[in-house]
């Protein structure tokens, strides 16, 4: 079992919303689309709160890093499980491409938080497909999440992900997710290598692509 960031979770409305969605679907209610959107926004809000609390705990040495070896395919399958229904309801196809017996060394809870954050963003910006892939290259475990949306804006591609860039009230972007992801990557070290993230527009059909590099 790979624990999500539930150890930090301040609250969750997901169970109540799941029950409400099931009721509306069985009644073929026209309000079901609004409930799906509400579920997504609630997940996104909850995720942002979890990221903030996690950064607080890390900054105050209240989190014990737990780096261990994990089967990457099984980890990704379990980490994405909570999003399968939401993706289906939003008409988004999820592809997972990981080789058999791929092993990585990382803190499962923290890396799951990174993946949750990028999936949340992907739900918002992709057209209809998200693809998560993983492979090993040299001494790096590389996890990629790609979409077929319009890609990242130029100013975001030029931004240093290791520093918090502030809030854009026009787009609603806080930059928190990428800052969190960069900090989590940096916590992973091996010999002279330190984890990092990269974003570009080499995703599906030139959509956005997020890549996590772990030594």
pTM listed for this prediction: 0.79
- Using alpha carbons, select from 180, 60, 79 the residue that is nearest to residue 134: 79
Quickly list DSSP for 93-107: EEEEE--TT-EEEEE
Domain boundaries, the chain: 67-214
- With 0-12 / 13-18 / 19 or more C-beta atoms within 10 angstroms meaning exposed / middle / buried, residue 147 is buried
- Could you tell me the CA-to-CA distances from 31 to 7, 14, 17 in Å, in that order? 33, 17, 13
Ramachandran category for residue 101: left, alpha or beta (phi over 0 → left; psi -120 to 50 → alpha): left
Q: Which two tokens stand for residue 170?
A: 């026009």
- pLDDT digit string (tens) for 49-100? 777 888 888 888 888 899 999 999 999 999 999 888 889 888 999 999 999 9
- CATH class of the domain whose range is 67-214: alpha beta
- pLDDT digit string (tens) for 112-139? 999 999 998 899 899 999 999 999 999 9
């Amino acid at each position: 079992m790979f624990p999500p960031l539930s150890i930090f979770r301040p609250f969750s409305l997901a169970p109540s919303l799941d029950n409400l969605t099931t009721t509306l679907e069985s009644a073929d209610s026209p309000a079901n689309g609004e409930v799906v959107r509400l579920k997504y926004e609630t997940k996104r809000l909850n995720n942002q709160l979890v990221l903030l609390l996690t950064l607080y705990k890390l900054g105050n040495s209240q989190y014990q890093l737990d780096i261990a070896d994990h089967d990457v395919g099984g980890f990704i399958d379990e980490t994405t499980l909570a999003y399968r229904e939401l993706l289906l309801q939003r008409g988004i196809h999820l592809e997972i491409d990981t080789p058999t017996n791929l092993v990585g060394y990382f803190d499962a809870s923290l890396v799951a938080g990174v993946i949750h954050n990028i999936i949340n963003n992907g739900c918002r910006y992709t057209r209809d497909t998200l693809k998560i892939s993983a492979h090993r290259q040299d001494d790096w475990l590389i996890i990629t999440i790609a979409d077929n949306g319009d890609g990242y804006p130029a100013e975001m591609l030029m931004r240093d992900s290791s520093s918090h860039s502030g809030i854009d009230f026009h787009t609603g972007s806080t930059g928190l997710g990428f800052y969190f992801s960069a900090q989590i990557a940096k916590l992973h070290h091996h010999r002279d290598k330190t984890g990092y993230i990269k974003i570009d527009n080499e995703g599906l059909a030139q959509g956005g692509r997020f890549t996590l590099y772990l030594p």
